[in-house]
Structure 1
Amino acid sequence: MAEKRGVTIRELAEAAGVSIGTVSRALKGQPGLSEQTRAQVLGVAQRMGYDVGKLRTGKPRRMLFLYNRSIGSLATNPFYSYVLHGAETACREAGVPLSMMSVLGGEDIAVQVRRHEAEALLGAGYFDPEAMEAIRRCELPLVLVDHFYPGVRCVNDDNQLGAWLATRHLLEGGAKRVAAIFGPLAHHSVSLRAKGFRRALYEAGRLFDPDYEVTLDPSLEYRDAGRDAMRRLLELPEPPDAVFAYNDSTAIFAMEVCHEHGLRVPQDIRFIGYDDIEEAAHSKPPLSTVKMDKEALGHVAARALIEGDTAPNDASLPVELVVRESSRAPEPQQEAAAPRKGRRQPAAAER
């Protein structure tokens, strides 16, 4: 019998002609729906023999933090460590156990999720469409952080504004050839940061030159990819005199390459990153960056799951420009005395 097999939320949503989120809110009695829609969903559920008891009310008994392993480990990409900590804090405050699972392409995500006995999912970072559909087929409340997917509640920072502030800072400091290093542009946050970078150039009356915008080589390890990107920029006939990197780790790797080639930061080339990870303030020189509350991203997402507030929405948290030594414009007398930029010099020249 159909009742014995069990009707899924997805089947119920398709039969009622509404989204999975609408079905969830209707069965839980949550606000945000018209009485007509609520009655329609409840009527279809009754006709199909849906077990309403499967959809528990109240906070989830266990939450699962999903992380895409393809974008590096939490050790090499510390941004998500802060997000995880924020989610953990929210869960501890609410008495909800939190576990973590890394996801890799080709794995059966649904099977792994069931092993964790999760009742709510917090996805952090980019997941390709195939992985996203596998996650949604788990039919559990879902909130995404640092990602966007239609029909899902998402929590992001204001990526486009942050990149615009960073690039404008370099331009206003007198930079003539501003370059950018990005990760995969398929990632929601990276694509918005690219838009912010280009918008700042356009508003400053600068022509966009694709040679000055490079992306990390996905075939390389994370650190090697950042260093490779900077080498490509230094090999241009007219290398940049300022670089916006889509995250702090990449900016730090790029500065290492410049030091090895005898370039001084910020006298010869200036840098600004994004995320304000702890290492940014302690790099040599200290790295300018765009700051957002990384722990708040995880905390807000986890609270939404705990409170059952998973209606599709794209929340955007504020950002702030943090100026440190790496992007400061040189004093006029220093600029006049600095060696002409443009050609790489052997690292030994300054040692």
Structure 2
Amino acid sequence: MSGLPVSNDEPTIRDVARQAGVSIATVSRALKNQPGLTEDTRRQVLEAAAALGYDLAKLRPVKARRIGFFMQRQNHALTSNPFYFPVLHGVEDACRKEGVALSYCQVAPEDNIPEIIRIQEVDALICVGHFDPEMLTAFKRSGKPVILVDNHQPGYLCVNTDNLTGAYQATQHLIAMGRKRIAFITGPHHFSIHQRQQGYMQALQDAGREIDPALMVQRYPIDEQAGAYPAMQQLLALKDPPDAVFAYNDETAIVAIQACLDAGLSVPEDIAIAGYDDIPNGAHGNPSLTTVHVDKEVLGREAVKLILHPKRKDDQVLVPVRLIIRQSTKSRASRRR
């Protein structure tokens, strides 16, 4: 039989050089985004590396001098986002301690991402939250290290909270409080939200509960916090309404509580409600909100650590979470103590 022997080994930098028809030194400069190459040569090497599935993490890291913090452009400012703003604080704190500069930019699908990266002059990218697949591809083609936060995609290093465990614990708590019909309010199609729904369903199954599709509703409009109000109304209108609700985040849970109060219900006496994220508003409400605490600044610091000290072989860093029990799920007896 003729031809080269088939190898199951991971591709090497030598393989990339052979595929691109250039020297090993040229491949190294291109993958590390070092100067001295034309854009056509750099693109040729990156395409060869992508075709072979070459792991960029195997390169000897170059100290990043400037890190870019990128979010997909939305209708609200970062400063009003109770989840991602603390993540930025964590990134900023880690960069300051490491002596690394930080740039922040919001981008949209129609933007020229390669040009934005060039103008920002960043050496590595932290992409936070949801991004369209085409946008992530544009980031990766830059040849710079890319870390995803609150997202997970094959072929990327990621930092996430332990969404599945946190949702499991919150649902398990509601079960332990004697609640029989536990609903789930979900939101946009996103990795972390899907994981939380999986944790909710797993806790019900492990308790021997049937999963009732009527108890899983989506807020509408899906991308607006106010969309939780009609979602809660939909649950309350059921012939057999829930006596507990686990909302995929705290903002949704707070709106759900208001919908219940407006309907003349008492929380938690008539219906218990729990959220996720532990934002400040949840702790100061009446009733205060049971939630899953996420150390959001740690998410940011871990992302910077992956860039500057890339020693992990895993593709994901999971930040632990913990359940915080407050008034919105306590029994009547426990609230009187």
Which residue number in structure 2 is paired with residue 294 of structure 1? 296
Which residue number in structure 1 is paired with residue 7 of structure 2? none
SS in 2 for 1:6: helix
CA distance in 2, matches of 1:140, 1:168: 42
- Deviation of 1:216 after TM superposition, in Å, equals 2.3
Amino acid in the other structure paired with 1:159: N
CA distance in 2, matches of 1:99, 1:307: 20
CA distance in 2, matches of 1:236, 1:63: 50
What CA deviation, in whole Å up to 9, does each residue of 1:100-156 have, x standing for no partner?
111223222222222211111001112121221122122211111111011111111
Say whether 1:143 aligns with 2:178. Answer: no
Which residue number in structure 2 is paired with residue 161 of structure 1? 165
Aligned counterpart in structure 2 of residue 195 of structure 1, from 187, 195, 198: 198
| TM-score normalised over the length of structure 2 | 0.82
Say whether 1:321 aligns with 2:312. Answer: no
Amino acid in the other structure paired with 2:272: R
Query: Which runs of at least 4 in structure 1 moved beyond 4 Å after TM superposition?
Result: 308-312
Which residue number in structure 1 is paired with residue 47 of structure 2? 11
CA distance in 2, matches of 1:146, 1:165: 19
**Shift in CA distance, 151/162, structure 1 to aligned 2, threshold 3 Å:** same
Greater relative contact order (Cα < 8 A, sep 6+):
1
Structure 1 portions without partners, runs of 5+: 31-56, 335-351
**Shift in CA distance, 105/228, structure 1 to aligned 2, threshold 3 Å:** farther
- Deviation of 1:206 after TM superposition, in Å, equals 1.2
CA distance in 2, matches of 1:135, 1:333: 51
Amino acid in the other structure paired with 2:41: G
CA distance in 2, matches of 1:220, 1:148: 21
CA distance in 2, matches of 1:71, 1:172: 39
Count residues in correspondence: 300
Aligned counterpart in structure 2 of residue 234 of structure 1, from 227, 233, 236: 236
2:219 and 2:229 in contact (8 A); partners too:
no
Give the 5 Å matches for 1:1-351. 4=38, 5-8=40-43, 9-14=45-50, 17-22=52-57, 25-26=58-59, 28=60, 57-58=62-63, 60-70=64-74, 72-184=76-188, 186-217=189-220, 219=221, 222-309=224-311, 313-331=315-333
2:327 and 2:335 in contact (8 A); partners too:
no
- Deviation of 1:310 after TM superposition, in Å, equals 7.7
1:79 and 1:275 in contact (8 A); partners too:
yes
Please give the root-mean-square deviation of Cα atoms over the aligned residues, in Å.
Answer: 2.4
CA distance in 1, matches of 2:215, 2:236: 10
CA distance in 1, matches of 2:335, 2:134: 56
Structure 2 portions without partners, runs of 5+: 1-21, 23-36
**Shift in CA distance, 156/85, structure 1 to aligned 2, threshold 3 Å:** same
Amino acid in the other structure paired with 2:326: R
1:153 and 1:311 in contact (8 A); partners too:
no
CA distance in 2, matches of 1:120, 1:14: 18
- Deviation of 1:73 after TM superposition, in Å, equals 3.8
